[in-house]
Every structure is written in C-alpha cells, then in structure tokens.
Amino acid sequence: MSKLEVGLGERSYPITIEQGCLNRIGTDLRSAYPASRYCIIADDNVAELYGMRLQQEIELAGMACDLLDFPHGEAHKNLATVASLLSRAAQKRLDRKSLIIALGGGVSGDIAGFVAATYMRGIPFVQIPTSLLAQVDSSVGGKTGVDIPEGKNLVGSFYQPEAVYIDSDVLNTLPGKEYINGMAEVIKHGIIRDADYFQMLDQKFDQVMALDPGVLAELIYVSCKIKSAVVAEDEKESNTRRILNFGHTIGHAVEAASDFQILHGFAVAIGMVACARISVLKGILGNDKLAAIISMIKRYGLPTEVPEDLDRNRIKSYL
C-alpha cells in the first residue's frame, strides 16, 4: 500500500493506492468518513461491474447506501444528467451529512463531484477511480463539471474530495483502448515535470503494457505525486497548475469537434504534439525533445496528428 497527501491545509486529503482496497472500502468509510447515508454515483457499465458489489460491501458494514447510475460516455456528461442525479438524490433523502462516492472513470468523477458540490450547496464525497486516466489524473485535484454545447468542461467547480481510493486491480477489466487512453496523461506528467519518469515509461514499456502490478503501482504513485504537488502549489489554476493543461486546449477542441468520438487521452496526445511543435517554432523546445515526445506517444499507440476527415474549421471554432 502507498499513501500520498494532497496538501491543501485544512482541506488536505489522502490518496490510498492499494491492490484490492475496493474489497474493504465499506469498513474504511464507516470508520474514516461516517455519514447518515452513502450514495454511489457511477455510469451504467461501472455500476454493473463494481457498483452493486460496492453497495453490498457498504451495506454489510451496516450502513445505508444507494446506487445511482447514468448512461456511460462523454456525450452524457451534461447538465441534464446532473439535474437527473440531483433529483434522484433528493428522492433518496440525502442530507448534508450524507456522502457521495464517485465510482468510475473521468466522466463519472467529474459528474459525481459536481453533484456533490451543488447538492444542498455542497456535501462531502470520495473518489474511487476505475480507469487509468482517472487513477493517474482526473480523480486528484478537485476539478468537477460538465460539458455544454459551446465547449468541454465549461460548467463546473473546484471541489476537493475527502479522499481518493485507488485499486489497480480494477484495471484488469478496463478495455485496452481505455488503458491507452489513460497513458496520454501519464506521458504528459513525464513531459511536464519528471524526465526520469519519462525515461522509465520507455524502459519499462513491456511491463506497463502487460499491467505488471509492481510497475503499475509505481506508475500510479508517481503520476499522483506529480499531480498532487502541482495542485498543492496552485489549487485554482491561477498560475502553476496551468502546466497540467499541456495539450488540453487543442485536445479539448479536437475531442469536441469529433462529437466525442475521439477519446480524451487520444485528443490530448494530438494536442501535446501540436503544442510541442509550436514550442519548437518559438525556440522554446529543441527538435530532439520534439522527436522524443512524438516517439513516446506513438510507441504507446496514441495518435500524433488530427484525423484527415476531421473538419479543421470546426476544431478552430472550439479553441
């Protein structure tokens, strides 16, 4: 087991990284985060895989627990989904002493966190990420929110969880494409903050792709450590935290222009290469570094160019 802390003074919170921790979460929640009622929010896929099991674990620990699901996919990360979940939370009689559990990937974490931030003007929540992307990036830092037709993540809030529980065992049920999707954020962390980490991703490529438990634990730990340190420096993204958006301005535009058919990590990979090329043109980055970034992204099966059939003008409209 590894532990980290996101250092935000009185609002600091722990990140627990442990294989199999999902199996004892009910007991942990009862002792560390007592609540009048627990409410799991997950998409329909994750609800079936892990939601009902987690609900049973919590109920066996002697606590009331509801499970609210919603249709999976970025297309459902919108205000209509949030409104539906808020109504259902009220129907279940959640109160200010209730605790929401965000179970799932990045979309679920963003939605459940935003529901927690807005229900009764804010109730506590914990993150239990089940995708690589969420485990290494989106579950840490308190960004919550949804998309609107005008753009991605334009409605939301900074709202920190009480804790993050990361169980790498759940990645065994993650589709291969979703695993690669998360690797974009891992590569990003190496580029922006840790050259040794970047090299490790190259040297341990085979183990990373084989989901070697030891290497996976190291990967998750280092990425969370990098993300936590940046968030502790600049929680509300007024300065330093902007570095975490490397590749995301262009990436979000590509994602939205594709009607979210291009996964977030794949779009961010395209955005990182585009930003690196701009940096070379501005004399900020050397061609050798650009070549290393492109090589790493390609090695992990991620794209480096905008698909030919994607309307460039539509991409520009989202920038």
Catalytic residue among 74, 185, 218, 235: 185
Catalytic residue among 24, 37, 245, 299: 245
CA distance 34 to 104: 22
In the residue annotation, 264 being an active-site residue is answered as yes
In the residue annotation, 218 being an active-site residue is answered as no
Catalytic residue among 24, 78, 178, 237: 237
**Spacing of C-alpha 86 from chain mean position:** 21
CA distance 138 to 252: 14
Judge contact between 271 and 176, C-beta under 8 A: no
CA distance 212 to 223: 16
Residue 198 corresponds to which tokens in the numbers above?
């970047």
Catalytic residue among 72, 76, 189, 252: 252
In the residue annotation, 282 being an active-site residue is answered as no
Bridge partners (DSSP) of residue 166 are 17
| pLDDT value at residue 245 | 94
Q: Report CA-CA distances (Å) from 152 to 54, 68, 144, 148, 258.
A: 30, 23, 12, 6, 12
DSSP 175: -
In the residue annotation, 245 being an active-site residue is answered as yes
| pLDDT value at residue 271 | 98
Residue 168 corresponds to which tokens in the numbers above?
């790498």
Catalytic residue among 72, 152, 189, 264: 264
In the residue annotation, 76 being an active-site residue is answered as no
Closest CA to 287 of 276, 299, 298, 302: 276
Mention every residue, 6+ apart, whose C-beta is less than 8 A from residue 225. 4
| pLDDT value at residue 82 | 99
**What own/partner pairs with CB < 8 Å and gap ≥ 24 does 254-261 have?**
254/306, 254/310, 254/315, 255/74, 255/152, 256/147, 256/151, 256/152, 256/318, 257/310, 257/311, 257/314, 257/315, 257/317, 257/318, 258/307, 258/310, 259/75, 260/73, 260/74, 260/75
Judge contact between 147 and 113, C-beta under 8 A: no
In the residue annotation, 45 being an active-site residue is answered as no
Catalytic residue among 121, 172, 236, 239: 121
Judge contact between 217 and 19, C-beta under 8 A: yes
Segments in the chain below pLDDT 50: none
Instruction: Output the CA torsion sign for 305, 310, 316, 317.
Output: negative
In the residue annotation, 204 being an active-site residue is answered as no
Residue 266 corresponds to which tokens in the numbers above?
């794949």
| pLDDT value at residue 238 | 83
Judge contact between 201 and 223, C-beta under 8 A: no
Judge contact between 184 and 266, C-beta under 8 A: yes
| Domains of the chain listed by start with CATH number | 2-171 (3.40.50.1970), 195-317 (1.20.1090.10)
| pLDDT value at residue 1 | 86
In the residue annotation, 185 being an active-site residue is answered as yes
Catalytic residue among 76, 143, 189, 193: 143
| pLDDT value at residue 237 | 85
Catalytic residue among 57, 227, 235, 308: 227
For 213, half-sphere exposure in the C-beta direction (CA atoms, 13 angstrom radius) is 8
Catalytic residue among 72, 77, 193, 241: 241
